[in-house]
Chains A and B, each alone.
Chain A
């Protein structure tokens, strides 16, 4: 309580509180700190409203991806069903009909095969959107600090989001930005949330690989997509920007390549996609209402 009170009284106390005495070079004079707060507040509000729209973006691209995955699964299952049906119906006089059946089947096969490819492309493109959203989340939560630009003694004080002075850590000496929370608390909350989305992206990637691996027995391409393959060009660059290492393949995850999972497994995959296993929605809402309360903004 003591330290909270002293940090409330802003810069006058900065030289008293022990944890701040080491970073004296952060905007320490009263006037700089008085100017720092509005700049930091403006930045903070921007970053959080950005995070807020990013989480909605995630929801929408995740559900678009899910509907593409569903169409993909349906196309795959109906193709398989049709094949089984056709073969069993004509099994009796196989020889007589073989050539015409083959003809029909090949026609239909190429039609559904191109349908599969279409849905795969759509799935890849919405997965790409999801990666981009998470990259933006990571960047946004790393841009919460507000640094002094130019010399402290200059009469014209400016602030920026990048550090020019190694002594300035951009947190205004740990003073509250709005009501109670210093920069570090905002950052901690943002990271907590972004971490959930990163984990979920990891799981979604696994599922995307499974969906993209669906193909019929006749498909000449026998190579199955693996965890270490790049799903779209530039994916690895994006993933490393969110500190997700694609090489850290959970090898145990891949028991055996399964080219033809049955419909039950596929339904569980789609359910797994839907449930956002790693995202605790209540906690995310809590974080936004907590942050919103501190800066008197209502995120709904």
Chain B
């Protein structure tokens, strides 16, 4: 029993690594988003010849600048897709942890009774606490991943008809990560590692 709980605590430490990796990727995605968004915000300006001031008589300048900006935008969008893939990798890894954990409880040599599952020794968490914690964490990151991919596709469609307000609210949504409330994550870890806080 105690050994199983210990194993589960190890899993939570690995999940922490996954979450750290997620944070790095999230920061990368946000900065990519900001770069893309500032290009998209400029596209309208670049379309109007009257905004070129002294440059307007240079051959082809408007087209060249416009094309180059579109190329950079495309490059950024591609790298955003790559970042999203890596984020998805983190979600996969969390899913695997949950699956393994369930397997461990069900497929173990000794079948645990309901009572054993919910039994807490001292401040140590029960096995059910561990399973539930892992499940919730996976669910949060899974939904946040779905949100991030839709924000990214929304950005692509905004490239065609930009609006500053929309760009800003999308950015807010991306930065906030509403599906991963920090306090909730923290409270899960508080339960699992209660003994370390004593």
B56–A255 touching, CB < 8 Å: yes
A250 partner residues in chain B, CB cutoff 8 A: 57-58
B56–A272 touching, CB < 8 Å: no
Partner of B55, one of A264, A267, A272, A276: A272
A210–B54 touching, CB < 8 Å: yes
Partner of A271, one of B42, B48, B57, B58: B42
Most A CB within 10 A of own CB, among B51, B53, B54, B57:
B54
B21 partner residues in chain A, CB cutoff 8 A: none
B58 partner residues in chain A, CB cutoff 8 A: 203, 206, 250, 253
A255–B42 touching, CB < 8 Å: no
Partner of B54, one of A255, A267, A275: A255
Name the interface residues of A156-191: CB closer than 8 Å to any CB of B: none
Give the number of residues in B that approach A within 8 Å (Cβ atoms): 18
Answer yes or no: B61 CB below 8 A from chain A CBs.
yes
A206–B54 touching, CB < 8 Å: yes
CA of A190 to CA of B45, assembled, Å: 36
A258 partner residues in chain B, CB cutoff 8 A: 53-54
B61–A272 touching, CB < 8 Å: yes
Name the interface residues of B40-83: CB closer than 8 Å to any CB of A: 42, 45-46, 48, 51-58, 61, 64-65, 68-69, 72
Known: A271-B69, A277-B65. A253 touches B57 (CB 8 A): yes
A268–B54 touching, CB < 8 Å: no
Name the interface residues of A264-281: CB closer than 8 Å to any CB of B: 264-265, 267-269, 271-272, 275-277
B55 partner residues in chain A, CB cutoff 8 A: 206-207, 253, 268-269, 272
Known: A206-B54, A252-B57, A253-B57. A267 touches B42 (CB 8 A): yes
Partner of B53, one of A265, A275, A276: A265
B45 to chain A, nearest CB (A): 5
B45–A268 touching, CB < 8 Å: yes
Q: Is the interface of A mostly helix, strand, loop or mixed?
A: helix
B53–A269 touching, CB < 8 Å: yes
B64–A268 touching, CB < 8 Å: no
A210–B65 touching, CB < 8 Å: no
B67 to chain A, nearest CB (A): 9
Name the interface residues of A255-300: CB closer than 8 Å to any CB of B: 255, 258, 261, 264-265, 267-269, 271-272, 275-277
Answer yes or no: A82 CB below 8 A from chain B CBs.
no
A268–B51 touching, CB < 8 Å: yes
A229 to chain B, nearest CB (A): 15
B55 to chain A, nearest CB (A): 6
Answer yes or no: A254 CB below 8 A from chain B CBs.
yes
A286 to chain B, nearest CB (A): 16
Partner of A272, one of B48, B57, B65, B72: B65
B53 partner residues in chain A, CB cutoff 8 A: 210, 258, 261, 265, 268-269
Known: A264-B51, A277-B61, A277-B68. A271 touches B56 (CB 8 A): no
Q: Which chain A residue shows the least CB distance to B52?
A: A268
A260 to chain B, nearest CB (A): 11
CA of A272 to CA of B55, assembled, Å: 9
B45–A254 touching, CB < 8 Å: no
CA of A66 to CA of B61, assembled, Å: 19
Q: Which chain B residue shows the least CB distance to A207?
A: B55
B56 partner residues in chain A, CB cutoff 8 A: 255
24 contacts between A and B (CB under 8 A): A203-B58, A206-B54, A206-B58, A210-B54, A250-B57, A253-B55, A255-B54, A264-B45, A264-B51, A265-B52, A267-B42, A268-B45, A268-B46, A268-B55, A268-B65, A269-B53, A271-B42, A271-B46, A271-B69, A272-B55, A275-B64, A275-B69, A276-B68, A277-B65
Residues of A within 8 A of B (CB): 203, 206-207, 210, 250, 252-255, 258, 261, 264-265, 267-269, 271-272, 275-277
